[in-house]
Amino acid sequence: MRTKFAFLVHPRNTLRSDMGQLFGAPFALIPDATWSAAFARLPVPPMITGRMSYADAPDEMVGSIITVPLTPTQLLTLPRTKVQAKISAAIDKARDLGATIVGLGALTAPASAGGKAFQKRTDVGVTNGNAFTAAMTLLGMERLMSRMRPDPLIALVGATGSVGSCLTRLYARKHAGGRLLLVARNRGRLDSLADEVRGKGVEASVSTEMADVARADLIVLLTSATDALLRSEHLKRGAVVLDDTVPRNTDSRLIADRPDVLIVDGGLIETPGVNLRGTIGLPPKHAYACLAETMLLALDGHKGHFSIGTPQVEQAEHLLSLATEHRQFGFNLAPFRSFGKLISEPASKAAVHADQDLVPWVA
Ligand SMILES: NC(=O)c1ccc[n+]([C@@H]2O[C@H](COP(=O)([O-])OP(=O)(O)OC[C@H]3O[C@@H](n4cnc5c(N)ncnc54)[C@H](OP(=O)(O)O)[C@@H]3O)[C@@H](O)[C@H]2O)c1
C-alpha cells in the first residue's frame, strides 16, 4: 500500500534567488549574508516549501518538500550536533505530516553521515536516496559512453562517498575490463575501493589530485564539496562531464571558457506522473534521483530505513525494479540538460569534439 513521504532540501549557494523563488520576489532583495546569519543564529524552523501528488489522484497530497534552513557551507561546517538537530527537526515535521519515509536531499545526507545520525529513530524511515542515484548515474554514464570512442578513461570524483562507492561497485559488476580513475582526498579509502574493483576485472587507478582528472575522457562528479571544484585546467580537450552534485561542482563559466567540453547535469529523473506544487529548482515533471528513490519506496509501502551510509548494489537493483513496476509515473533518466538547458543537437555537436570521435549527440 502506498504511504506518504517527505523530502528534505536546503537553499543552494544561490541563496537570495532560492529564497525569492520560494517566498516571493521581495525576499530575493535580502542579502545572502543576512539569510546566512538568520539561519545560524535565529530559531528558524523547517519550512514546507512544496507538496506532491500523483497524476492518478491529483487532489491527494502524498509528499512534502521540507526546506532545512541552513546554507550548503553551514550544513558541512557548523557543529555536527547543531546541524543534525536542525535536520532532525525537519524529520519530526515530516513524521507529523504523516510521512513514513523521509529522503535526505542534497547535503543533508553528507551532513548526517549518509543518514547514520538518524539510524536509531524508529518513528519514521530515512533514506539518503543514493542507491537510485548511483543506479541512474550509471545509466547516464552508459548513455554518454555509447557516443564516445571505445574504452574511455572514466574519472569518478568523490568515488569513496555514499553515491560514489555504490556507483563504482555497480560499474564494476557490468564493465569488467573498463578503466576507472578513482579520486577523493582520503588515500586509504581510495586504495581499498580500487583493490575491491580490480578483483572484478576493472583497471582502477587512484588519485588525491584534481590535476590527474585531466587524463580522463569522462568525468563524473560526486563530491560533497560546496563549490566549483572542477576547473578548466582539469579538463582534457573534448572531455565529457556528468555532474551529479548539489550544490554543483561546476561553474557555468566553464561553458564559455571551454566550448570543446560537454557538461551534463546528472541525477535527473523524468516524472511525468507526479505533480509538484512549489519548486525544487528543476524543470516541471523532473525530480532528483534521491527524491525519486523516496517516492519509489513510498509507492512500495516500504517500512523502516532504506539507504543509510553507503547503499548496497542490491538496493540499487531493487529500486530499478520498483521503477519498472511504477513506470506509469515515469522514473526514467531525463533527456540530458546542461546547466538546466536541454541539450540540443547543434549545441552538442559543437561540444562533442572531433578529438573524441563521438557520433553527433541526439538528446
Ligand atoms: N542529483 C541527485 O539526485 C543526487 C542524489 C544524491 C546525492 N547527490 C549529490 O551527490 C554528492 C555526493 O553525495 P554523497 O552523499 O555521496 O556524499 P558523501 O558520502 O559525503 O561523499 C562525498 C565524496 O566526495 C569526496 N570529497 C569531498 N570533498 C572533496 C574534495 N574537495 N575533493 C575531492 N573529493 C572530495 C569524499 O571523500 P574524501 O572525504 O576522502 O575527499 C567522498 O568520496 C552531493 O553533492 C549530493 O548533493 C545528488
Give the tens place of pLDDT for each residue, 272-283: 999 999 989 899
Ligand 1 close to Cβ of residue 307 (< 6 A): no
- Whether cis (ω within 30° of 0) applies to the bond prior to 43 is no
CB 285 within 8 A of CB 330: yes
In tens, the pLDDT along 105-154 reads: 999 999 999 999 999 999 999 999 999 999 999 999 999 999 999 999 99
pLDDT value at residue 13: 81
**How many residues are there in the chain?**
363
Q: What share of the chain is helix, strand, coil (3-state, %, to 5)?
A: 40, 20, 40
Ligand 1 close to Cβ of residue 222 (< 6 A): yes
Ligand 1 close to Cβ of residue 148 (< 6 A): no
- What letter represents residue 195's amino acid? D
Query: What's the gap in Å between 161 CA and the centre of ligand 1?
Result: 5
CB 86 within 8 A of CB 70: yes
Q: For residues 295, 78, 220 and 333, what is the CA-based torsion angle, rounded to 10 degrees?
A: 10
Query: CA distances (Å), 103 to each of 6, 125, 228, in order?
Result: 6, 9, 25
Task: Choose the residue to mutate in 163, 181, 210, 282 for probing ligand 1, maximizing ligand atoms within 8 Å of C-beta.
Answer: 163
In tens, the pLDDT along 183-231 reads: 999 999 999 999 999 999 999 999 999 999 999 999 999 999 999 999 9
In tens, the pLDDT along 60-94 reads: 999 999 999 999 999 999 999 999 999 999 999 99
Write down the residue that cell numbers 497524476 correspond to.
55
As a whole number of angstroms, the distance between CA 317 and CA 302 comes to 15
3-state DSSP call for residue 106?
A: helix
Between 317 and 12, the more confident residue is: 317
As a whole number of angstroms, the distance between CA 279 and CA 20 comes to 11
Ligand 1 close to Cβ of residue 194 (< 6 A): no
As a whole number of angstroms, the distance between CA 176 and CA 56 comes to 42
- pLDDT higher than threshold 70 for residue 318: yes
Percentage of the chain exceeding pLDDT 90: 90
Ligand 1 close to Cβ of residue 130 (< 6 A): yes
Answer left, alpha or beta for residue 13, where phi above 0 means left and psi between -120 and 50 means alpha.
alpha
Task: Choose the residue to mutate in 223, 306, 307, 339 for probing ligand 1, maximizing ligand atoms within 8 Å of C-beta.
Answer: 223
Q: Which atom of ligand 1 is nearest to the CA of 130?
A: 6
In tens, the pLDDT along 326-351 reads: 999 999 999 999 999 999 744 443 44
- pLDDT higher than threshold 50 for residue 356: no
Q: For residues 181, 216, 251 and 115, what is the CA-based torsion angle, rounded to 10 degrees?
A: -20
Ligand 1 close to Cβ of residue 192 (< 6 A): no
For residue 156, list its beta bridge partners. Answer: 182, 220
Helical segments of 124-238, H only? 130-145, 162-174, 187-198
Query: What's the gap in Å between 162 CA and the centre of ligand 1?
Result: 7
Write down the residue that cell numbers 553507503 correspond to.
310
pLDDT value at residue 353: 40
- What letter represents residue 58's amino acid? P
User: In the chain, where do the E strands start and end?
Assistant: 4-9, 47-54, 63-67, 99-104, 125-127, 153-157, 179-183, 203-207, 218-221, 240-243, 262-265, 268-270, 274-278, 286-288, 332-333, 337-338, 341-342
* Mean per-residue pLDDT over the chain, rounded: 93
pLDDT value at residue 363: 31
The confidence band for 22, taking pLDDT boundaries of 50, 70 and 90, is confident
Answer left, alpha or beta for residue 254, where phi above 0 means left and psi between -120 and 50 means alpha.
alpha
In tens, the pLDDT along 292-315 reads: 999 999 999 999 999 999 999 999
pLDDT value at residue 346: 42
